Amino acid sequence: METKTGKIKFMACTVGISFILLLKKSFCYSIFTKMNEVEKVVIVGSGCAGLTAAIYTSRAALLPLVIGGPQPGGQLTMTNEVENFPGFPNGINGFELMANMRLQAEHFGTRFVDDEVKDVDFGKGMKKIICERNTYLSQTVIVATGASPKLLGVKGEKEFFGGKGVSICATCDGAFYRGKDVAVVGGGDTACEEALFLTNFCAKVYLIHRRDTLRASKPMEKRTLANGKIIPLWDSIVDEIIGPEKVSGIRVENVKNKSKTEIACSGVFIAIGHTPNSQQFAKYLHLDDDGYFHRKEDSFVETNVGGVFVAGDCADKTYRQAITSAGTGAMAAILAEKYICKKI
C-alpha cells in the first residue's frame, strides 16, 4: 500500500515538473514583460537575418526579443548541406547552422517567443506588434520575415524536397549534381540564373517554362539560350516528379498539344518566384511592386518608419543568400542601437 502511494506521489511529482518545464519559457516571458513592458528591440523572424540581428543586439546588451514566426529557423532549415557559408570548410547542415546561431544569440541574452505577427501599429509612440498570443511594445523593430518560395504543388515535390532531389536553391545544392542531368522550372531571371549556375556542374540542364518566351531580362535570356548545356522545353509544365527513393525524372506536359513526356534527371530546381512575407506590415511600411520592403535610398535596412528596419529576404530579391541575410541582419542591429541612443 505504502509503495503504491509512493509511486503515485512520484508520478504526480514528475508530471508536475514536466508541466512547469513546458511552461517555463512563456511563463518567464510574461513575468519579464510585466517588469519591462517596453522592449528595446523586437526582432520578427528567426532565420539567418533575424538571428544575426539577435546576436548583434544582445551583444550590445539590448536584450532583444525574437518572435519566432511560422517557420522557426527560416528557409535554411529546409536545406540539407550549406557549403558556401564562410567558416565551415566541410560545409554545415542548414538546420545545424541555424541551431548554432540560435544558441549564440541565447548565449548573449536573446529571448525567444513562439508567436506569429497578425498586425502592427507603427503610428506615433512605441511600436506595437500584435501577435496571436501577445502584444509586444518596442522602441525599435527589426523585420526579418523572409520570403516563401512558390512551389508547384505537383506529386513528388514535397516527398523529394531537401536532399532527395527537389531544391529551391542552385547556389546551395548545385554542386551535389556534378556530371548529372537536372531540370529547372521557371522562365524568369531566377530560373535563368539557376540554370546558368548549374551548367558549371551538370551535364544537361532542362529549362522548363510554361510559355514560349522567357520572362527574364533580355541579356539574361541571351546568355541562357546561348548556353549549349541548357535545353529549353517551351510551353511545358511539370506534371509529376518521379522517384521512388529520390528524384529519377519528371513527367512534363506540353500545354498546347497536351502530350506528356518523361525526362530522366536527378534534380529539379524550382524557380517560379518568391512571395516576401511582408503583408502584415503593409499598412505602415512601403513595399515595391513585388511586395518586397522598400528601403530608404542609400540604405540596405532603413524603412520609411524611423526605428523600423528590415533585413534578409523580405527586402532582397537580388541576392537571397544566407550570408547576405546575415549581413543585413547585422546592419539592422547596428542601426537599431544607434536609433535607441538617438544617434540617427
DSSP string spanning 22-43?
HHHHHHHHHHHHHH--EEEEEE
- Judged by CB, which is closer to ligand NDP: 117, or 191? 191
172 has catalytic annotation: yes
Among 69, 187, 249, 307, binds ligand NDP (CB under 6 A): 187
The sign of the dihedral angle between the CA atoms of 219, 221, 224, 227 is: negative
CA–CA distance, 179 with 28 (Å, rounded to integer): 53
CA–CA distance, 194 with 272 (Å, rounded to integer): 11
Per-residue binding letters, 124-163, with ligand NDP (x by CB under 6 A): --------------------------x-x-----------
CA–CA distance, 331 with 167 (Å, rounded to integer): 29
Task: Please report which residue ranges of the chain form alpha helices under DSSP H.
Answer: 2-35, 48-59, 94-107, 170-173, 189-198, 218-226, 322-340
CA–CA distance, 137 with 44 (Å, rounded to integer): 12
Among 162, 232, 243, 273, binds ligand NDP (CB under 6 A): 273
CA–CA distance, 140 with 137 (Å, rounded to integer): 9
CA–CA distance, 29 with 326 (Å, rounded to integer): 26
Catalytic residue among 48, 115, 173, 192: 173
Q: How far is the CB of 210 from ligand NDP (least distance, A)?
A: 5
Is residue 107 within the footprint of ligand NDP (CB under 6 A)?
no
- Judged by CB, which is closer to ligand NDP: 136, or 206? 206
| Cα angle: 103, vertex 109, 110; to 5 degrees | 70
CA–CA distance, 54 with 48 (Å, rounded to integer): 10
Q: How far is the CB of 218 from ligand NDP (least distance, A)?
A: 11
Binding span for ligand NDP by CB under 6 A among 40-48, 66-74, 107-115, 179-187: 179-187
Catalytic residue among 48, 131, 172, 314: 172
Is residue 193 within the footprint of ligand NDP (CB under 6 A)?
yes
Residues in region 297-316 near ligand NDP by CB under 6 A: none
28 has catalytic annotation: no
Per-residue binding letters, 215-254, with ligand NDP (x by CB under 6 A): x---------------------x-----------------
From the list 155, 176, 182, the residue with the least C-alpha distance to 249 is 182
Catalytic residue among 48, 115, 131, 169: 169
Q: What are the residue numbers of the active site?
A: 169, 172-173
Would you tell me which residues interact with ligand NDP (CB under 6 A)?
150, 152, 185-191, 193, 210-211, 215, 237, 272-274, 317-318
